[in-house]
Each structure stands twice: as structure tokens, then as C-alpha cells.
Chain A
Amino acid sequence: MTDGGSMSLAEASNAAIYATMVTLTVAMVLFAASFASGRRRTTSSSSVASRETAEGSVAVIDRVDTAVAAEPGRRLANVAMSLTWLATGLLTVGLVLRGLWAGRVPWGNMYEFSISSAWGVLVVFLVLSTRRDLRWLGLFVVTPALLTLGLAVTVLYTEAAQLVPALKSYWLVIHVSAAIICAGAFTVAASAAALSLVQSRRERRGLTWQGVMASTPSTEKLQTFTSRIIAFAFPLWTFAVIAGAIWAENAWGRYWGWDPKETWAFITWVVYAAYLHARSTAGWRGNRASWIAILGLVTFLINYFGVNIFVNSLHSYGGL
């Protein structure tokens, strides 16, 4: 595994990941600058006026925020978006090279899980951004992705090696890929939920259309956005847990044994179930639901970092 050719693959993988971090740092700075210069000059126009027109023109009432594209903050955010695409491409290269070097999927230890999770966060964000304008969210997605990568390369770095026998299963691919996408979706959802809490304070103080949060959508839109992502991620998380249970049955002879990892996966599931219930309970729909969305990510992170590092679990594959 340590001949010259393989080493250069490893070095290339590491270089790609460092390049990702540099690119993401620039993207983060630009997103932050765009966020700070976010005074909204445009008006939120609703085509209510054309409601009663009987002349035959279509006039769907649909509140559209028509933003002026040439706004300086917007332009910075556009560059930052492009850089995020570039960074995600570089990270993909880094992951693929890592996998080629190790001769397996790059999900064998915590370093690899971490860079894959950062990839998941960026991919979920970018996929969503093709369907709606998410430039306002960029700062709050790129920052956690960058932190995860930083932690991965400094603290969690492990030389690529073969898998321990317990991980040699095609369930690794199924179970872990679902978990990685969930990591991305939960992070994006929690970022939007946190922004909705800030925005809601501002709205209560009547500060809606000024200051750094001005280009961020309204509280209600942020809450809806959060709930849509969780509505996507919750079934996927259910799948990840079921796939894990099938794998556990295959490896350890029981599908559920309340191992700390399983317990925290269950807790995460229950918290997001509570979120979905809160979204249809009077008095819980708004800020309380947003807090639950953040709590959900916290339980996910406890499971990832806490259980892998501090708890003696069957899932302690950290490689640390």
C-alpha cells in the first residue's frame, strides 16, 4: 500500500482536499461580505393589483420577491456560489482519489466519514440551490462544511488502510451513504432553522427590511424551507436506521441491541419525528419547531463525535 504510485494518489487526494478548503474559505468570506451588505433595495411586490382584471390576462397571485440582480451583495454571493460548486467538485475528486488509493469506498474511518459528510452538506445545498435562490444560506452551509473539513484534516486524519472485517459489507455503502446525505440535509435544515429564529426576533422588533439579515427570507419562508428539507431527510434517516439494523442483524446476530450508536440514531429519529409533529401542532409550529430542528442536528453530532470518540461502542470505527 505504500509504494510510490499509491502514495502519489494519497497526496493528490490530500491536495484536492486542501484546495477544497482554500476555495471554501474564499467562498465563505464572499458569502459573509454579501450577507453583511445585504441591505435590500428592492421591494417585495405582489401582483395583487391585477387580481380583478377581466381582460383576459393571466394574473396569478403569487408573492414574488423580485430582487435586482446588480446589487453588490448579490454579485459577491454569485461568485461565492460558483466557488462552492468548484469546491464541491474538488472535494469529490479528493474523495474519489482517497477511495482509489484505499481500494474501497472512502468510508472506513472518521476522517473519511467527516470529509464525506462535508461533501454531503455541500451537495444537499447545491442541489437545492438549483431549484431556488439559496444565496442567503451560503454562509451558513459553507461554514459548517469548512469546520468539518478542518477538523478532519487536523484531528481526525488517518492514513488510508483496509477496512476492519466488521465494515466489510455492501451494507457499508448503503447505510453510510444514506447517513452522509442525512448529515447534509440535517445541517442545511438546522442552519435555516437558526436563521429563522434570528429573523423572527428581528420581525418582532420590526427590523425586517434593514440590516445584515435583510436579504434573508422571512421567518415563515425559512420555517417552510426547514420543514421541506426535514420532510425529505426524515424518511431517508428512517432508511439509514433500517439499513443499519439489517446490517447489525447480519454482523452481530441482532437487529437492535441498544448499542450507544443505535440509541442515538433512535434519539435523532424521535427528535425529528417530534419536529414533524410540532409543525402541525398549534403553538409549536414556529420558533419551537425551529429549536427542535436544531436539537435534531445536535443529537446527530453527539452520535457522530461523542459516540465514536468517547463511548465504548460496537460502532467505534474511528481509527483514532
Chain B
Amino acid sequence: MPTPMHGPLPHSTRACDRAARCPGAGSPRLTTSAVAVATLAIVLAAAIAIGRDPENAGAVTVLRDAARKLEAAPATPLGAGQYWYVEQRGHTLAEEREQRVRELRRPDDDGAQALDRP
């Protein structure tokens, strides 16, 4: 996630009133451009690093945190003669109602597109 940048930057014109006192820093105009480029690079690098638009960083963080916790969970290999048990509770739409929802899901501009084509 990109970190907001607050306060004077190391090579900002506020910190260096004279370019000669700031080795490596050019004119104020050039320095401002360099900072902007650097800031953009940081933002892009952060976005690329998480593989996602920064707006989705929250979901990425949650999923990666969950992944880290699962990696630490005990393994549950299935031995011969053993069974994997799953119990779930919930509700789904009745068949007729579900068909109606399926019809709603079809894109308006392509009613012939199959919902569950192979």
C-alpha cells in the first residue's frame, strides 16, 4: 500500500534554500519534478507489488493475512479408510425462482448467451 508523504522531503526546496547546500539536488523546478516522478514511481511500485489497484488493497491485505494463518494450520492428510467430513448450512433459491434469477443474470444485449455453456 502506498504510504502518504507528509512534511518536507529530504530534497525539497523548503529543506534546501540553496541548491549548493544540497548535493545532488538541482534547481527548485527540477527538484519538484523529480519528487513528483519519485512519488509516482512509489505509488506504481506499490500497486504492482500488491498486484492490484490501491483501492482493493484492503481485500488483498485480508486475503494475504488469512493465507499466512492457514499456512500455519495443521495438515489434515486423509488416510486409507478415512473420510473428509464437511457440514454446511444455508439456503438457496427454489428451482423455479433460481431459473428466474438466472434469466436476470443474462446480459441485456445478448439474451442468447448461454449462462452455463461448457
A binds B: no
Using a CB–CB cutoff of 8 Å, the interface residues on chain A facing chain B are: none
Interface residue ranges, B against A (CB under 8 Å): none
